[in-house]
Amino acid sequence: MEHNYDWKTKREKKAFLALEDGTVMRGYPVGAEVDNEGEVVFNTGMTGYQEIISDPSYAGQFVTMTYTEIGNYGVNAADMESRKLFLNGFIVHNMNEPSSWRAEKSLTDFLKEHNIPAIAGIDTRALTAKIRTTGTLKGYLHCSKTDMTPEQGVAKARAWCGLDNQDYASKVCCDKPYQWDPDGSLTISWGIAKELPPVEFKVVAYDFGIKWNILRNLRLQGMDVTVVPAKTTAEEVLKMKPDGVFLSNGPADPAAVTYAIEAAQKLIGKVPVMGICLGHQILGIACGGDRFRLKFGHHGCNHPVKNLATGKVEITSQNHNFGIVQDSIPDCLEITHMNLNDNTVEGFKHRTEPMFAVQYHPEASPGPHDPHYLFNTFRELMKR
């Protein structure tokens, strides 16, 4: 594969990241040579960059990788988590050419194909330290060849509306309902199973930005999954006579997806319900809880979460900027999981109805298998 950037481009550092607080960090483009605004977050994963950038939950955001060397194993079709890339930009310290038998193309070429701006040459650890101190910041990524001053970039970052009170779920979801993996090829593509279990349950999954590995895990538990767009009503779902309903992860602010909150309120008690991430927040609000914005979000691996029922600590993968206020949890819900880093709510269940949710991502192989039991919990709810 060809080297995409010469030393002259790297030395000149004409690209830059401008932050709303006036900070400007210079680098060189390693993706599409376009400009964009976005919310700057950091991800602590050392690997898994393809799964990260293809997670629709990052829509509207610039993802900063805290690990310094990115791109080493390229990208390939089997590791996608959705149909395309939804993030607004990508920030790395050093972009490498691929050296892996699995690589089908370089990460740089992949970002260009999807028109995603990316910048390298940034001190990503300094940027991470800044975000941890100040909180999440709006930014502007200048990677195009057009003339722009850093001051203009800062002004554009400040002028951007940001993600608060913005509905991004309807922007990233599917256009129409579809059945997940009817021939089984996508579910067993990694060699994780030689054959699939027989179908026992019919599940409808709301797509607010659903990751494909969630769908794999549901199918591996004997569930035939029909994925529906974010704005599908509860009445439409119930007409499909599902054994259970799943509320997926997704981007931006849960308070903005009012249609999903309304649907959740109508589904609770009618059918077993499971939620992950944005689905957790939607169910919490639907039951009377309040959402809040985390200072810099949870993005990455190795977040310790305590299961209050068993006392065990699960190592989890996470990706969210909002959570449910602990003091606002209504009496109808019981808190089941807590984050040991910052004592935020990571899971709850309904006291009288078949419904539960977690804030983290059990499908993302943290631990690597600590939270996989949750999919079986959903199965057992439908069984009962």
| Per-residue model confidence as pLDDT tens digits over 224-273 | 999 999 999 999 999 999 999 999 999 999 999 999 999 999 999 999 99
Query: Pairing mode, if any, of strands 69-70 and 345-350?
Result: unpaired
E strands present in the chain? 15-19, 24-29, 35-43, 61-65, 69-70, 89-91, 94-95, 118-120, 137-142, 178-179, 201-207, 223-229, 244-247, 273-276, 291-307, 313-324, 333-339, 345-350, 355-358
Query: Pairing mode, if any, of strands 291-307 and 333-339?
Result: antiparallel
pLDDT at 1: 44
List the catalytic residues.
277, 361, 363
Reading the chain (384 residues) residue by residue, the pLDDT tens digits are 445 556 777 878 899 999 999 999 999 999 999 999 999 999 999 999 999 999 999 999 999 999 999 999 999 999 999 999 999 999 999 999 999 999 999 999 999 999 999 999 999 999 999 999 999 999 999 999 999 999 999 999 999 999 999 999 999 999 999 999 999 888 887 666 678 999 999 999 999 999 999 999 999 999 999 999 999 999 999 999 999 999 999 999 999 999 999 999 999 999 999 999 999 999 999 999 999 999 999 999 889 999 999 999 999 999 999 999 999 999 999 999 999 999 999 999 999 999 999 999 998 777 777 888 999 999 999 998
pLDDT at 309: 95
Q: Which domains does the chain have, with CATH numbers?
A: 7-159 (3.50.30.20), 169-383 (3.40.50.880)
pLDDT at 188: 83
Q: Distances in Å between the alpha carbon of 196 and those of 115, 185, 217, 225? A: 36, 10, 11, 14
Q: How far is the C-alpha of 30 from the C-alpha of 7, rounded, in Å?
A: 13
pLDDT at 2: 47
pLDDT at 225: 98
- pLDDT tens across 148-200, in order? 999 999 999 999 999 999 999 999 999 999 999 999 888 887 666 678 999 99
